[in-house]
Amino acid sequence: MIKVVIASQNPVKIKCTERAFQEVFKNESFIFSGINVPSNVADQPMSDLETLEGARNRAKNAQSAEPKADYWVGIEGGISETEAGEMLAFAWISIISNDQKGESRTATFTLPPKIVELIHQGIELGLADDMVFKRSNSKQSNGAVGILTHDLIDRSEYYRPAIVLALIPFINPELY
């Protein structure tokens, strides 16, 4: 039984990690668990680098908290501003084992001006979504990506391809 620890108790992050691992390692059996650990970055990472650092920190902190696992997965959502003043949303995935690591970033999408305005006021993206779209705890369901795509891409499906891509070094160890 392969143990995978997800550095979050958010059901969306757990579900997408389960799906990705089961798709990549079709013949394996898994035990998945979520754990709350700090990212050691701002609650709302505001750059590509800070978001990547948050994902890495989450994976490492999960490994420290639960060292008897096979994989530790950090997922960190972040935003960055373009030179044109648009704000892009994305997430970084960091997966580590005792002897390997893999990382990948999701696709990006542009946030609407009302959301950007709230973020500039210091409000985290998930809360800004809830305020603008009159939702509650949307980051544990469809998130900004689901709301803005009218659920054509929900948050779980948004993360899944990046998790698969972050697993490339693990399924091709001879190349890494």
CATH number of the domain enclosing 39: 3.90.950.10
| Residue 124 within any structural domain of the chain | no
| Residue 146 within any structural domain of the chain | no
Rounded Cα distance between 129 and 80, Å, is: 16
Rounded Cα distance between 63 and 51, Å, is: 19
Collapsing DSSP states into helix, strand and coil, what is residue 112?
coil
Tokens 């108790």, residue?
9
pLDDT at 9 over 80: yes
| Residue 74 within any structural domain of the chain | yes
| Residue 163 within any structural domain of the chain | yes
Q: How many domains does the chain have?
A: 1
| Residue 21 within any structural domain of the chain | yes
Structural domain containing residue 28: 2-108+156-175
| Residue 149 within any structural domain of the chain | no
pLDDT at 159 over 70: yes
Q: List pLDDT tens digits, range 61-106.
A: 999 999 999 999 999 999 999 999 899 999 999 999 999 999 999 9
The average pLDDT across 117-145 equals 86
| Residue 148 within any structural domain of the chain | no
| Residue 139 within any structural domain of the chain | no
Phi, psi of 9 (to 5 degrees): -110, 10
Phi, psi of 70 (to 5 degrees): -100, -35
